[in-house]
A = this chain, B = another copy of it.
Amino acid sequence: MMELTRKGEYAIRGIVYLAAQPVDRVCLLSDIAAAVDVPATFLAKIFQQFSKIGLVKSYRGTGGGFLLGRVPEKITLLEVVEAVEGPIIPNRCVVGAGECARDVSCTVHPVWKKVQEQVRAALEGVTLKDLAGG
C-alpha cells in the first residue's frame, strides 16, 4: 500500500532531469523521455499537468520544449507528486467533515491525519535541487 504510481515515478524522473540541466536550457520532450526511459506520449501528459500549474514552462514550435518554471530549490517533491497524483490522502476520512460517514467519533481519523501530515512534511522538505544533486 501507499505506493507511488508509475505516473508519479515518471513525473519525478522527468522533472529531476530538467532540474539537472543548465539553467535556460530548453529540453525537447522526446529527449527527456529517452533520457529517463519513459514513454514519450505518457510523459507528454505529465508535463502538460506540470505546465498548467507552472511547475514547468513550455514553448511550442521550432526551438520549443520545456524548462523549469522556477529555480530547483523552490520546487518541492510534494508539489511534483501532488501535481500528478492528486493530494495525499491516506483515507477518505481525512478529507473533511462529512466524508467520514463513520460518525463524529471515528477513532482512526486522527491516525490518518497524522500520517498525512508526516508524509507531506517529508516530501515538502525535499527540493529538486536536493534531488538533482546540484
Binding site for B on A (CB under 8 A): 1-5, 8-9, 12-13, 16, 77, 81-82, 85-92, 102, 105, 107-108, 111-112, 114-116, 118-119, 122-123, 126, 130-133
Q: Considering the chains assembled together, what is the distance between the CA atoms of A111 and B81 in angstroms?
A: 13
Q: Is the CB of B1 within 8 A of A85?
A: yes
Chain B residues whose CB sits within 8 angstroms of the CB of A5 once the complex forms:
1
The copy count of this chain in the complex is 2
Q: Which of B77, B91, B133 contacts A3 (CB 8 A)?
A: B91
Q: Is the CB of B130 within 8 A of A89?
A: no
Q: Considering the chains assembled together, what is the distance between the CA atoms of A132 and B108 in angstroms?
A: 9
Q: Considering the chains assembled together, what is the distance between the CA atoms of A126 and B109 in angstroms?
A: 12
Chain B residues whose CB sits within 8 angstroms of the CB of A114 once the complex forms:
122
* Known contacts A107-B131, A118-B118, A131-B108; is-contact A89 B123 (Cβ 8 Å): no
Q: Which of B1, B102, B105, B118 contacts A8 (CB 8 A)?
A: B1
Chain B residues whose CB sits within 8 angstroms of the CB of A118 once the complex forms:
115, 118-119, 122
Q: Considering the chains assembled together, what is the distance between the CA atoms of A68 and B96 in angstroms?
A: 31
